[in-house]
Amino acid sequence: MRVLLLHDSTPDTGVADALLTSGHGVVRCSEPGRPAFPCAGLEGSCPLDGTVDVTVVVHDRPTTEIARGEAGVVCSFRDAVPVVLAGNGSFSPFLGRCDAVAASVDDVPAACERAVAAAEARASDDVTAFVGAPAIVTRRGDAVKVVLAADATSRHTVRAHQAAARLFPSARTIDVCAGVEPPKGGPR
């Protein structure tokens, strides 16, 4: 899983090490030691342009103000990328919007899995409600897949694509599969 790692004024090396040790790739809006602005997106290639599965924001300051190094979380929310809050999030402005909260540095990799699962469950519920038929949604980077039940009609597939396009505006591909049984327990 590719993780966008953001932080306030607190160094995020412990979180980065935990993610790398667990096999996740880590990307940033700005490299360590460089100013948070301008971000990578303004200087060439934004990590959210199809390569990120989840965002981790380390917020350790006792304030609800957004730090420069945390600004990328706004882009993550816009692009429907699941977000994990790490650090002392008691004053975080993101607490109510995050998909998971990491209890400790060691919990961050598992929190990433929980965030992706929560976001996919929410997207599945939203697409199911819009389509009027059961749907299971997965997202990996810029690719979204919607699996509909075997009895889905062509109208269901069109509506599923429309719903996924609204939920994931930055998706480059949206595949809708109909006429197959969704896997038990959801896709992976």
Give the model confidence (pLDDT) of 122-173 as tens digits: 999 999 999 999 999 999 988 999 999 888 999 999 999 999 999 998 889 9
Beta bridge partners of 84: 56, 100
Cα torsion through 56, 126, 96, 138, rounded to 10: -10
For 59, the token pair is: 């917020």
Q: Quick check: pTM over 0.75? A: yes
| Residue ranges in the chain whose pLDDT is less than 70 | 10, 179-188
Q: What b-and-e string marks burial along 127-151, b requiring 16 or more CB atoms within 10 Å of the CB?
A: bbebbebebbbbbebbebbbbbbee
Kindly list the structural domains of the chain, giving each domain's residue range(s) and its CATH number in brackets, ordered by start: 2-114 (3.40.50.280), 117-177 (3.30.300)
Instruction: Say what the pLDDT of residue 187 is.
Output: 47
Residues 6+ apart with CB under 8 A from 186: 120, 121, 124, 136
Cα torsion through 3, 172, 115, 94, rounded to 10: 80
Distance from C-alpha of 144 to C-alpha of 160, rounded to nearest angstrom: 11
